[in-house]
Structure 1
Amino acid sequence: MSDEHLSTLSNVIARRAAGARDHVLLISDDARVTYGEMNRLGARIAAALRRSGASAGDTIAVLAANGPAYLALMVGAARAGMVLAAIPVSAEDGAKQAMIRDSGATLLFTDEALPFKVSAEVVMLGEPFDRWLAQDGAADADDAAPVAVDGDAPMTIIYSSGTTGTPKGIVQPFRYRARMLESGGARGYGPDAVTLLATPLYSNTTLSALVQTIGAGGTIVLMTKFDAGRWLALAERHRVTHAMLVPVMCARLLAYPDFDRTDLSAFRVKYCTSAPFAPAMKREMLDRWPGGLVEYYGMTEGGASFVLFAHEHPDKLHTVGRIAPGGGEVRLLDDDDRDVAPGEQGEIVTRSAGMMIGYHNRPGETAASRWIAPDGSVWQRTGDIGRIDEDGFLTIVDRKKDMIISGGFNIYPSDIEAVVAAHPEVQEASVVGVPSETWGETPVAFVVAPGADAGAIKEWINARVGKMQRVADVSIVEELPRGPIGKVLKRELRDRYVGALKLAA
């Protein structure tokens, strides 16, 4: 059943345009787009989509860098009641082709020449897009009318980063995003908010901050690609009040030579999410960067969200906070899917009003990602191992899939990584399990440590960890491979190492 009162990106912008038409919604390079202009552009796109033969419930795909056209396509798709599949530009060509095919998109909007064939009609952004948009002139009233959507109908397909295998399409319903659109005010956004975003629009991390800012009538400053120097310059120039970051961006900003000379006094809060966030870095941000610091923990698949107001709880920086107000429920399960005792660690499963519909075209994996409680309630598995303290704060121990089973013992890479990070020559580190004929799996440490001696670092590590945690090898690398929002691609490290062993054999 359709719900004409449900908040969508298009009708929220339409309402804002009615009252503040000339308020700037988006700043991207030299472009400035007001709420009125974005509302009109979204209506024209919705009309052009219908004239192209697409209808409510159909899927369009976008494979493009951040920019005004990308956001406008989101608005137009929502206005037409269509599904938008966000294809990561960082993926390999084969993966891109597979995701486009998986999405079932009838139209593909892209800014890159495709070296592979797709069944969808391709519309290149730029002049070809402008011609496609103007094919029948201005949209008439009937063409531009928004569609009332069912809150449980699919709205977006967000593809996973592929850190643990082939990217899966996470199907989010309109109701999922409606909750974010309506929560901006409670999260400190308002019409005077200026939010700087430099993560990709195909990431749920970016979309969360974007829609909360728009829902509250604020302004988005959108970067095509993150660069620490330019990011700081934009933050100072536009008097940025909010930002969504990932830990690797925080590290690069804090290390930038001009950081302490940049005027960041307009900041009210920085949000950080999507990857492990070291307590020491949180402390440094509190000490050196004006405004509050908030860490989020949650999943694109949905379920409960955890929030840590670091500036209010400086004694809890080792945690990811407590469940956000109205944010859902959490349970910790043992290996037999039974609740663990208070204070014990277990797999984190959560549920809330905002849950994915499922993985696109993957019913088996959708079922495997869920836990059905004895009372029949449906919970989302996170794949993370955690512990909840007496105050309700959650500490992430490690990824369940990253856990190394060596000689029958469970080894958590994060425990070893914490030791490795203390080595004076190590800038970054990641520990993965590789196959071992003797132990089944054994830990290997990959470190960014220019000019260091791998053997000496190995000896140093193994003198400070437990017997079963000792690393079999240390590999010095120029940099750790990362996904689009900063997660270390442990699978790539493992595959690279195993491949090198096979070549040497």
Structure 2
Amino acid sequence: MNTKIAAYVARPCGNFADLVALQARAAPDRIAIICDGEQIDYAGLNARADCIAASLQRDGVVSGGVVAICAASSIDYAAIFIATLRAGAAIAPLSPSATPAQLAAMIADSTPSYLFVDAAAAAHLAAVDGLAFITLGAAFDAWLAPPGTTPTPVEVTAEQAFNIIYSSGTTGTPKGIVQSFAMRWPHNHLGDPPGYGPGVVAVISTPLYSNTTLVSFLPTLAGGGTMVLMPRFDAREFLVLSERHHANIAMLVPVQYRRILDVSDFDAFDLSSYRMKYATSAPFSAELKAEVLQRWPGGLVEYYGMTEGGGSCMLVAHEHPDKLHTVGRPMDGHEMLVIDADGNAAPPGVPGEVVGRSRSMMNGYRNQPEKSAEAEWFDPAGVRYIRTGDIASVDAQGFFTLIGRAKDMIISGGINLYPIDLESVLNEHPAVIESAVVGVASREWGETPVAFVTMRTPLEAEALRSWANQRLGKMQRISAVQIVDELPRNAIGKIVKRALQDRYAAEQTV
């Protein structure tokens, strides 16, 4: 690595935008981003970011302000992201798949000085009265200062807001998670995650508003690599791009791995350039991990953590093939505990809620101090941890095994049921592709489990329910099975169980 870049990365904290500038000086002609048949080198990307940052400052955006963007991934999206940080402002990337009402609420919460959108998002937001935005393309180019314009240098503080990431909303209204420059800085260290650096080619197929994506976006550009951006995910196109550009790295969510491996001619693609693959954001079954290791060259690393930060686990799957049912052990510098309902540490093998702490911890939820307080846990010495809401157990070797979400837990007849236990049984049936179990109101039991399943071969719902209940404990039995074409997911592959509960409740009132 260039000595100036290495020295900057070794600082306790810095600005990601400065790393892009250093890479542009070190290797101006190196390709930084490839997207939809277009590409830009580091010199061009840095100059574009300079021009955008200068335009923001010209119009009054100051250090500590906020700039929002709602668009599909693109070169200009990446440049706006870098430019916002260069101006000292926080970037608020918003999901184009959110409803206009949800987006309006996020914009009101984040109070950005500017909102940039692409054409699709502009049409989506047209119904929101009084909302001003700049559309990427001709309008954006006309807004920009002349090429070659540079911004006034800005110093940022460690606790200053780097970005505001809105939660996926799988369990309710999205919350604005404020992440500081200090929280994001470790993502630029090229050993965490491993594999990044000059010469690396990373395919990025999840949207840039997702925390999952930023965990790969940041080290790719910080390390001087080349990023192949996919504005929309397609499993076969992912393979085409991987082969064409000799990709070394990919960050994917589990459902993407499944869809890629299911491409009929998967084995015909040359993926031998892959060094490492990463996964995060959703449950990753041991069976799927094993299949990835068997069929796809390179290592496999799973991360378990939260956008809110706290503690994170890492499973180096290719080094621990006997631990694929786990999410690994806490990463260096991360402390994680399993606590019981009274806040006491649970012994090995006993389930409890996971709490964690590290240097990567959110400032809090924007404008929601009560929610921020709910997300925190303090040990007897007053040390702050972030609550995950996940139930897990830890084995004698320190590997964490997830059991389920505390909010997903079903209390039926006074007994705690974890949906993952029921889903594991359903998924053993050869006709089942995938299942999701939710709790619904029951006069007799308080709550009762209902399963939604997708099928690879036809089977009557009642036959599947009977088959599963024969293998479940008496208090675990499923009260109903619904066969569906697909399970509702957010943009990064998490199943939206709240949508299933709402669907079931609506059907009962018809």
Q: Paired residue for 1:220?
A: 227
Q: In the TM superposition, what is the alpha-carbon distance from 1:177 to its structure 2 partner?
A: 1.4
Tell me whether 1:78 sits opposite 2:79 in the alignment: no
CA contact (8 A) 2:190 2:197 kept: no
Q: Deviations over 1:383-410 (max 9, x none)?
A: 0011111111111111111000001000
Q: In the TM superposition, what is the alpha-carbon distance from 1:119 to its structure 2 partner?
A: 5.6
What pairs up with 1:103-142 in 2 under 5 angstroms?
103-111=110-118, 112=121, 113=123, 114-117=125-128, 121-134=132-145, 137-138=146-147, 140-141=149-150
Change (3 A) 1:120 1:155: farther
Q: In the TM superposition, what is the alpha-carbon distance from 1:117 to its structure 2 partner?
A: 3.1
Q: In the TM superposition, what is the alpha-carbon distance from 1:66 to its structure 2 partner?
A: 0.5
Identity %, equivalent residues:
48
Change (3 A) 1:301 1:185: closer
Structure 2: which 5+ runs fail to align?
Answer: 1-8
Q: Paired residue for 2:501?
A: 494
CA contact (8 A) 1:97 1:118 kept: no
Q: Secondary structure at the match of 2:494?
A: coil
CA contact (8 A) 2:422 2:472 kept: yes
> Take 1:223 and 1:5, find their aligned partners in 2: how far apart are those partners?
32
TM-score (norm 1): 0.96
CA contact (8 A) 2:311 2:356 kept: yes
Tell me whether 1:472 sits opposite 2:479 in the alignment: yes
> Take 1:118 and 1:305, find their aligned partners in 2: how far apart are those partners?
41
> Take 1:376 and 1:132, find their aligned partners in 2: how far apart are those partners?
50
Q: Which amino acid aligns with 2:474?
A: K
Tell me whether 1:366 sits opposite 2:372 in the alignment: yes
Q: Paired residue for 1:453?
A: 460
> Take 2:329 and 2:286, find their aligned partners in 1: how far apart are those partners?
16
Q: Which amino acid aligns with 1:475?
A: Q
> Take 2:400 and 2:130, find their aligned partners in 1: how far apart are those partners?
45
Q: Deviations over 1:274-298 (max 9, x none)?
A: 1000100111111111110111101
Q: Paired residue for 1:333?
A: 339
Tell me whether 1:171 sits opposite 2:171 in the alignment: no
Q: Paired residue for 1:413?
A: 419
Q: Secondary structure at the match of 2:128?
A: coil
> Take 1:388 and 1:293, find their aligned partners in 2: how far apart are those partners?
21
CA contact (8 A) 1:442 1:472 kept: yes
Q: Which amino acid aligns with 1:319?
A: T
CA contact (8 A) 2:50 2:149 kept: no
Q: Paired residue for 1:281?
A: 288
> Take 1:373 and 1:139, find their aligned partners in 2: how far apart are those partners?
53
Q: Which amino acid aligns with 1:129?
A: F
Q: Secondary structure at the match of 1:401?
A: helix
Q: Which amino acid aligns with 1:65?
A: A
Q: Paired residue for 1:302?
A: 309
2:397 to 391, 396, 399: 391
Q: In the TM superposition, what is the alpha-carbon distance from 1:192 to its structure 2 partner?
A: 1.2
What pairs up with 1:416-435 in 2 under 5 angstroms?
416-435=422-441
CA contact (8 A) 2:392 2:403 kept: yes
> Take 1:140 and 1:5, find their aligned partners in 2: how far apart are those partners?
30
The two structures, once aligned, show a CA RMSD in angstroms of 1.4
Q: Which amino acid aligns with 1:150?
A: T
Q: In the TM superposition, what is the alpha-carbon distance from 1:140 to its structure 2 partner?
A: 4.3
Q: Paired residue for 2:260?
A: 253
> Take 1:481 and 1:186, find their aligned partners in 2: how far apart are those partners?
30
> Take 2:351 and 2:477, find their aligned partners in 1: how far apart are those partners?
23
> Take 1:318 and 1:186, find their aligned partners in 2: how far apart are those partners?
21
> Take 2:192 and 2:507, find their aligned partners in 1: how far apart are those partners?
52
Q: Deviations over 1:316-349 (max 9, x none)?
A: 00001111123x1011111122211233111000
Q: Paired residue for 1:377?
A: 383
Q: Paired residue for 1:32?
A: 39
CA contact (8 A) 1:100 1:118 kept: no
Q: Which amino acid aligns with 1:240?
A: A
Tell me whether 1:272 sits opposite 2:283 in the alignment: no
Q: In the TM superposition, what is the alpha-carbon distance from 1:146 to its structure 2 partner?
A: 2.7
> Take 1:299 and 1:68, find their aligned partners in 2: how far apart are those partners?
27
Q: Which amino acid aligns with 2:350?
A: E
> Take 1:119 and 1:149, find their aligned partners in 2: how far apart are those partners?
32
Q: In the TM superposition, what is the alpha-carbon distance from 1:186 to its structure 2 partner?
A: 6.1
Q: In the TM superposition, what is the alpha-carbon distance from 1:138 to its structure 2 partner?
A: 3.7
> Take 1:117 and 1:413, find their aligned partners in 2: how far apart are those partners?
38
Q: Secondary structure at the match of 2:432?
A: coil
1:324 to 316, 331, 356: 331
CA contact (8 A) 1:185 1:216 kept: no
Q: Which is worse superposed, 447-456 or 112-121? A: 112-121
Q: Which amino acid aligns with 1:17?
A: A
2:318 to 306, 311, 319: 311
Q: Which amino acid aligns with 2:15?
A: T
Q: Secondary structure at the match of 1:265?
A: coil
CA contact (8 A) 1:97 1:116 kept: no
Q: Deviations over 1:86-137 (max 9, x none)?
A: 1111111211111111111121100122233366641111110001013xx2
Q: Secondary structure at the match of 2:270?
A: coil
Q: In the TM superposition, what is the alpha-carbon distance from 1:227 to its structure 2 partner?
A: 0.3
CA contact (8 A) 2:45 2:79 kept: yes
2:361 to 355, 364, 367: 355
Q: Paired residue for 1:64?
A: 71
TM-score (norm 2): 0.95
> Take 1:488 and 1:5, find their aligned partners in 2: how far apart are those partners?
37
> Take 2:180 and 2:95, find their aligned partners in 1: how far apart are those partners?
20
Q: In the TM superposition, what is the alpha-carbon distance from 1:217 to its structure 2 partner?
A: 1.1
CA contact (8 A) 1:184 1:216 kept: no
Q: In the TM superposition, what is the alpha-carbon distance from 1:372 to its structure 2 partner?
A: 1.4
> Take 1:480 and 1:45, find their aligned partners in 2: how far apart are those partners?
40
Structure 1: which 5+ runs fail to align?
Answer: none
Q: Paired residue for 1:22?
A: 29
CA contact (8 A) 1:105 1:120 kept: no
Q: Paired residue for 1:436?
A: 442
